[in-house]
Amino acid sequence: MPALARAWQMLLKGYEEVRASPRPLAAADMVLVRLAYAADLPSPAELARRVRDGAGGGVASTTHAGSAPKPAPKPAHDEAAPVEASAPAQAASPEPLAPPPELKSFEDVIALAETKRDLKLKNALLEQVRLVHFKPGMIEINPVPQASRELGQELMKKLKAWTGRVWIVAVSDEAGTPPLGAQRREKDAREIEAIREHPKVKEVLQHFPGARISAVRPTAKPATDAGAPEETDDLKEDGTTR
C-alpha cells in the first residue's frame, strides 16, 4: 500500500508538470522514468526499519568491544615481535581512482549526462541548446526560448561535480548551430530518403503498399575465416550485384 500511495503522489505531481511543460511528451517521459526508478526503492517504513536495525547492530558491537577493557594493554608486548608479519598489510596501497572523464566535444558532454543517468539534463542539451563555441573548460550556448533560465548554471555545477574541474558556461546572443537532436533527425531523414531511392528498396515498397522506412542502421559484417578471401556483394546503380 505505501508503494501505491507513493506512485499516486508521483503521478499527481507528474500530471501538473506535463500540463505546465512546453513539451508535454518529454515531460511525460520523465514522469515514467521517475516511476520506474522509484519502483525499486524501499517504502518509508522499510527504510526506517533498516536504519533502526543497523543502529541496533552498531550499539551491540560497541558494547561487546567495551566489555573487556583489561586485556587491551596485554598485546603491547606481543606486537613488538611480529614486526615483519604486519609490514605487508601496511605496505598495501589503495587502488588508484579512475581518471576523470575527458570531454573533447559537446557530444561528449551529452554522452556524460547520459552515463550519469541525468536524463533531464541530457534531453535539455539535445533539444534546447544551440552550440556557439566549445573548448575544454569553456562552452558558449544560445538556449532556445523554451529552455530553463537555470540551464547554464546547472550545467556548470554538474560538470564540476563529474569532471573535478571548473567549467564556464556562457550564454551568447549568436545564433549557433541547431540543437543536436534536430541535427540528428535531419541526418536520419536524409539517410531514409537516400535509401528510399535504391532500386531494391523501391521494389520492396511497391510489393508492400503502406510500408515505410523508420530508420537506417548499419549491419555488422559476418565473420570470415582467417586467410579466406572476403566475399563482397556490392550493389551497382541498376540494382544488380557484382
Give yes or no for a contact between 141 and 172, defined as CB atoms under 8 angstroms apart: yes
pLDDT by residue (tens digit) across 17-53? 878 887 778 778 787 878 777 777 776 667 667 777 7
Round the average pLDDT of the chain to a whole number and report it: 76
Beta pairing class for 138-143 and 168-171:
parallel
Give yes or no for a contact between 158 and 113, defined as CB atoms under 8 angstroms apart: yes
Q: What CA–CA distance (Å, rounded) separates 50 from 44?
A: 10
Q: At what angle do helices 199-207 and 180-196 cross, to 10 degrees?
A: 80
pLDDT by residue (tens digit) across 223-233? 655 554 454 44
Each domain of the chain, given as residue ranges in start order, spans: 1-55, 124-174, 178-217
| Whether this model's pTM surpasses 0.75 | no
Half-sphere exposure of 147 (CA within 13 A, CB side): 24
